[in-house]
């Protein structure tokens, strides 16, 4: 059955809103969303990021049939600059859904990276790029067997987190969180406030205050 494209990706969130999330750690968003859309921490970045998010953009999804990467090709064709290609292969690790050739094509379009509940390969190349981030569950050298199946822009589940086309993907060294697109506007002010509060806590700790005082920990019972 040929690869199916359900629809074009919904309207993107504003560039200004997305930029604001760049200053917010994944941990802050995960806490505010009470872990509901945190991606399985076993899905990790290929390279250490060390300083701010490296994966931030609107999701274009590729739901892959076993050993078939047709949907990945078509997702790259549909995606726009600033998007993240989200690959759902059901967590399979026996074949890679993408490597350096497809990733190079995506990178040239301005796609900012990949989130793969799948396997990737050519990691020696992919891991060197500072402008294209890859978060993946598996790495394997074996490639796919076909390229004519799967679905683009279907709702998927990545590491236990639901992802729909147009949702915002945010990833850093701590992992990945999915921000539902309809929640992003209401979440950003709370996330910025929490991030600023953490900066204030750090300053108080650096000035010598105890964690008990800074975090308002209730008194312990002695004896």
Q: Is 215 within a domain?
A: no
Q: Is 14 within a domain?
A: yes
Q: Domain range for residue 121?
A: 9-181
Q: How many domains does the chain fold into?
A: 1
Hunting for tokens 């697109």 — which residue is that? Answer: 181
Q: Is 117 within a domain?
A: yes
In the chain, the largest separation of any two C-alpha atoms, in whole Å, equals: 71
Identify which of 106, 95, 100, 104 has the alpha carbon closest to the alpha carbon of residue 57: 106
For the chain, the residue count is: 223
Q: Is 145 within a domain?
A: yes
Q: Give the per-residue pLDDT at 219.
A: 93
Q: Give the per-residue pLDDT at 12.
A: 86
Rg (CA), the chain: 19
End-to-end CA distance of the chain: 71
Q: Is 73 within a domain?
A: yes
Residue 90 belongs to a domain with what CATH number? Answer: 3.50.30.40
Per-position pLDDT tens, the chain of length 223: 799 999 766 788 999 999 999 999 999 999 999 999 999 999 999 988 766 568 999 999 999 999 999 999 999 999 999 999 999 999 999 999 999 999 999 999 999 999 999 999 999 999 999 899 999 999 999 999 999 999 999 999 999 999 999 999 999 999 999 999 999 999 999 999 999 999 999 999 999 999 999 999 999 998 8
Q: Is 190 within a domain?
A: no
């Amino acid at each position: 059955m040929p690869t199916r494209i359900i629809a074009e990706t919904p309207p993107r969130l504003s560039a200004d809103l997305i930029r604001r999330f760049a200053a917010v750690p994944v941990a802050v968003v995960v806490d505010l969303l009470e872990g509901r859309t945190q991606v399985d921490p076993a899905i990790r970045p290929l390279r250490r990021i060390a300083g701010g998010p490296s994966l931030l953009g609107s999701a274009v999804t590729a739901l892959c049939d076993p050993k078939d990467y047709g949907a990945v090709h078509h997702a790259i064709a549909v995606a726009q600059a600033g998007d993240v290609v989200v690959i759902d292969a059901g967590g399979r690790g026996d074949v890679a859904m993408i490597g350096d050739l497809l990733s190079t094509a995506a990178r040239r379009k301005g796609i900012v990276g990949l989130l793969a509940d799948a396997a990737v390969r050519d990691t020696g190349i992919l891991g060197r790029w500072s402008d294209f981030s890859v978060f993946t569950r598996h790495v394997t050298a074996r490639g796919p067997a076909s390229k004519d199946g799967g679905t683009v822009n279907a709702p998927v589940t990545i590491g236990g987190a639901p992802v729909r086309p147009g949702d915002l993907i945010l990833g850093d060294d701590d992992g990945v969180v999915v921000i539902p697109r309809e929640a992003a506007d209401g979440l950003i002010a709370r996330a910025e406030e929490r991030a600023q509060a953490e900066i204030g806590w750090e300053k108080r700790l650096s000035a010598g205050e105890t964690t008990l005082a800074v975090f308002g920990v209730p008194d312990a019972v002695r004896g």
